[in-house]
Amino acid sequence: MTNSKGSAEKTTEKVKTPSTRKDREAMSTACVWLGTPEFAEFWHLLNTSCHCSGRGSEASLITSRGTKTVEVNKFTYDYEVLAVDIQRQKDGPFQTLPIYPHRDGIFEDFYFSLIHLIVINGCNHEHTFPNFSKAALKTKAGKCDSGVSREWTKLFDELCNTFEVLADETNEELTSHCNGSGSNQVMAESSSLTGFAQMFRTGWTVCSIHSVFDYITGSLVLA
């Protein structure tokens, strides 16, 4: 009986609820309304984790020097876009990911939230996210004891408490993994992307191929 309950609790903890576009827009709008350095950082972290399809803890450690421009090619045109260097913590690969402007809205746009963060919080920091990087680098007894999830949840709860309508607009089960999962869900539901493109963007290794099926078979759109 005890073992069954323990197993159930452990399974529940592993569930990563993906954010929807409605969730992301609602959280971003609330961050802009508050207009503080703390929530400017939170907003850009939301966008970064979504565009990089990564965990909050991975995005938190992106450095200012690691945000740069790269040249990309589309058909016969060569042009530059922003890119970030990100270290995947679970699977290990180090990636430089190009990021394009969001074509559908400024609240989910990496460029817009980055400029907003620089204006509100300045740019003379080693890490793009000063507060969250400190939380990510916390240690206990000589081992990593990341506090990103706790910091993320604290700010999310503060948003919901400040704007009561936000509690109705977003899923209360969202965590620091939600935008990485939400981004993967969008890719899984896009007919123009292959599984390999999704694996590269997310930094999955071949041994994590089951993650692709988690998103594809779990999609209400594709089911």
pLDDT in tens, 58-105: 899 999 999 999 999 888 889 999 999 998 876 667 889 999 998 888
- Whether the per-residue pLDDT at 172 is higher than 50: the answer is yes
Q: What DSSP designation does 62 have?
A: -
Which one has a higher pLDDT value, 197 or 109? Answer: 109
Q: Which helix (H) or strand (E) holds 96?
A: strand 94-99
Predicted local distance difference test score (pLDDT) of residue 209: 54
- Whether the per-residue pLDDT at 152 is higher than 90: the answer is yes
Q: How confident is the model at residue 182 (pLDDT cuts 50, 70, 90)?
A: confident
Q: Tokens at residue 184, please?
A: 């993967």
* Measured torsion, CA atoms of residues 161, 165, 171, 174, in degrees rounded to the nearest 10: -30
Q: Which helix (H) or strand (E) holds 83?
A: strand 77-87
**Residue type at 110 in one-letter notation:** F
**Residue type at 70 in one-letter notation:** V
Q: How confident is the model at residue 115 (pLDDT cuts 50, 70, 90)?
A: very high
Q: What DSSP designation does 84 have?
A: E
Please compute Rg for the chain using Cα positions.
Answer: 18
Q: Where are the domains of the chain?
A: 18-217
- Whether the per-residue pLDDT at 1 is higher than 60: the answer is no
**61: helix, strand or coil:** coil
Q: What is the CATH number of domain 18-217?
A: 1.10.443.10
Q: How confident is the model at residue 9 (pLDDT cuts 50, 70, 90)?
A: very low
- Whether the per-residue pLDDT at 219 is higher than 80: the answer is no
Q: What angle do CA 53, 119, 159 make, to 5 degrees?
A: 60
Q: Please give the biggest Cα pair distance in the chain.
A: 64
Q: What number is the average pLDDT over the span 36-64? A: 92
Predicted local distance difference test score (pLDDT) of residue 204: 53
- Whether the per-residue pLDDT at 203 is higher than 90: the answer is no
Which one has a higher pLDDT value, 33 or 222? Answer: 33
